[in-house]
Amino acid sequence: MTLDEARALDAADPLAHCRDRFLLPSGKIYLDGNSLGALPAATAARLGETIEREWGESLIESWNKHDWIGAPERVAAKLAPMVGAAADELLIADSTSINLFKLLGAALMSGDRRVILSEEGNFPTDLYVAQGLEALVPGVTLKTVPADQIEAAIDQSVAVLLLTQVDYRSGRKHAMSALNAAARDAGALTLWDLSHSAGAFPVDLTGNGCDLAVGCGYKYLNGGPGAPAFLFVARHLHDRLHSPLPGWMGHADPFAFDPIYRPIGGIGRFRTGTPSILAIAALEAGLATFDGIAMSDLEAKSRSLSQLFIGEVEARCGGAAQLKLASPRDPSARGSHVVFAHPEGYAVMQALIADGVIGDFRAPDLMRFGFAPLYNSHEEAWRAAQALGEIFESRKWDSPRFTKRERVT
């Protein structure tokens, strides 16, 4: 493909105008929106207003006057259609890890089964949270199996099946509907981590029969570093499940200061403490970058960008014999990031970053490139592939400047 052909794809892109909703650093091609979404153009002003007008002028009265008290539900309602949930099934709260704990604990407390079933390669924090429950609650057991053995491992001992829809390394996407059906048949609940899904392509929690879900606000949702996360509880479970992390914000009448916890009906019982209003305001500005966007356009562009990138990388890096696509080749089988493996992946990625193309590296040998359909362009995907080709050709990566491992992230 030529640069002009890539540009022609951008000219026909129905989401091209969305790039203006972001402030992107000049001279860089940012392909790490799957780690930290780019800065929306409206965020700084929104935070300024929340800080100066709401907090500064109205102070404590803002809980009522500016509806701080309703922020977790209000912002969740904006996210709900993007993940196929009803507004009252979704809540903005805490971090992904904390929300995982709440929902895993709630699932365990809802019956006598003690097994959490997950995938060996699930995102580590998901496994750590389950290990925390193992250490805290006698009898709870985390069982992990390879991806291709999950369905066979769902038996009558399983309380909850804990999976991440899109693998953080390969981008491989699980077949949600089939796994949910298998779990339902065995009487197990399902808990999906949507951290690499929400905002990248349409998710249909309800249509696929998901019971529980969590996800991250700071990746494709553009909510800022460490943004509040979200949690989903299907309506049919609202009265049956109880949070193991009750707090005053989830009480039926928080300002009665009742010494006995009595959960509010619905999703609000999964609130714990007082949420950061500043962080939620930034997430709300992040979600506003999706205003008026068809999720189908988002998915189509994600595929178009990633397919272009794979094709160009493979065309340009023929000399790098050990370079291998580590993502599914079929775009319907992966999320919105693409991974190439190479034994010198760390150094190659550092050289690429030095050239202004920002992806990231995951041990032992994975170079990861995220495509955020709202702000990445086909020209960027083309130029990133070109830069990678040049680095392999010149062996620029083979320098202590790049091979020395010193980066934290």
Shortest Cβ 106–its own copies spacing (Å): 9
How far apart, in Å, are the Cα atoms of 335 and each of 113, 118, 289? 32, 19, 20
Least distance (Å) between residue 288 CB and its own copies: 15
Decide: 41 and 253 in contact? Cβ < 8 Å.
no
DSSP percent split of the chain into helix, strand, coil, nearest 5: 45, 15, 40
User: In what helix (H) or strand (E) does residue 130 lie, and over which residues does it extend?
Assistant: helix 124-136
At residue 101, the 3 state secondary structure works out as: helix
116 neighbors 159 (Cβ within 8 angstroms): yes
As annotated, the active-site residues are: 123, 193, 218-219, 368
User: Taking the complex as a whole, how short is the minimal distance between the CB of residue 20 and its own copies, in angstroms?
Assistant: 14
Closest CB to its own copies among residues 223, 389: 223
Q: Which is nearer to its own copies, 165 or 272 (CB)?
A: 272
Query: What contacts 351, CB < 8 A, 6 or more positions away?
Result: 391, 396, 397, 399, 402
Place of tokens 């709260």: 93
Cβ-based nearer residue to its own copies, 138 or 292: 138
Q: Which helix (H) or strand (E) element contains residue 233?
A: strand 229-233
> From the CB of 270, what's the least distance to its own copies, in Å?
12
**Shortest distance, position 330 Cβ to its own copies, whole Å:** 25
Taking phi first (over 0 means left), then psi (-120 to 50 degrees means alpha), and beta for anything else, what does residue 59 get?
left
Check if the beta carbon of residue 191 is closer than 8 Å to that of residue 179.
Answer: no
The upper half-sphere exposure of residue 2, i.e. CA atoms within 13 Å in the direction of its Cβ, equals 3
Question: 261-273: buried (b, 16+ CB within 10 Å) or exposed (e) per residue?
Answer: eebeeebbbbbbe
Beta carbon of residue 331, minimum distance to its own copies (angstroms, whole number) = 24
SS3 222: coil
Nearer to its own copies among residue 28 and residue 394 (C-beta): 28
Burial of 27-62, coded b for 16+ CB within 10 Å and e otherwise, reads eebbbbbbbbbbbbebbeebbeebeeebbeeeeeeb
Q: Which is nearer to its own copies, 278 or 325 (CB)?
A: 278
AA letter at 257? F
CB of 407 to its own copies, least distance (A): 6
- DSSP string for 295-313: HHHHHHHHHHHHHHHHHHH
Give the whole-angstrom CA distance, residue 261 versus residue 120.
37
* Shortest distance in whole angstroms from residue 109 CB to its own copies: 6
The torsion of the CA quartet 244, 91, 216, 41, rounded to 10 degrees, works out to -150
